[in-house]
Amino acid sequence: MAKGYGRPPMSRKGGKGMGMPGGINMDMIKQAQKMQADMEKKQAELQEKEYTATAGGGVVSATVDGKHTLKALTIDPEAVDPDDVEMLQDMVIAAVNEAVRAAMDDMSSTMSALTSGLNLPF
């Protein structure tokens, strides 16, 4: 039997779309490419954004960027007690961790909004 004999010709619009497997059509490919470009743009924007958190009632402040790099650390001189260095260390750790958590939450919620309904793992 000749190749293709007895099969209906493939449509260029709708249906299976230019012979792509699984019913993928050009509109779906274009939509996926646009979403990928949008996600890359958003990720770049989020990496430049800064997130600040405080600890100890505001005596310690930490700022990180979207890449989770510590950009600034401010310590009120009143927080420096030579007899209790451990408390200052704990406040620094708490402020940095909270700023990193804020950056991660922002990235997660932004990516979820871009991919809503697609069930992607981010």
Q: What is the pLDDT of residues 21-80, one digit of tens each?
A: 666 788 888 888 888 888 899 888 888 999 999 999 999 999 999 999 999 999 999 889
pLDDT, residue 9, reads 55
Domain limits for position 103:
50-114
Judge whether 84 lies within some domain.
Answer: yes
63 or 20: whose pLDDT is higher? 63
Cα 59 to chain centroid distance, Å, stands at: 30
Query: CA angle, corner 102, sides to 92 and 65, nearest 5?
Result: 75
pTM of the model: 0.64
For residue 15, name the pLDDT band (cuts at 50, 70, 90).
very low
Indicate the range of 1-10, 17-26, 29-38, 102-111 predicted with least confidence.
Answer: 1-10
Q: Within a 10 A sphere around the Cβ of 61, how many other Cβ atoms?
A: 19
Q: What is the dihedral of CA 99, 96, 63, 79, to 10 degrees?
A: 130
Burial readout 17-44 (b: 16 or more C-beta within 10 A, e: otherwise): beeeeeeebeeeeeeeeeeeeebeeeee
Length of the chain, in residues:
122
- Six token digits for residue 2: 């000749």
- Total count of domains within the chain: 1
Does some domain include residue 96?
Answer: yes
Q: Is residue 30 part of a domain?
A: no
CATH code of the domain covering residue 66 = 3.30.1310.10
Q: What pLDDT score was predicted for residue 16? A: 46
Residue 43 lies in a domain: no
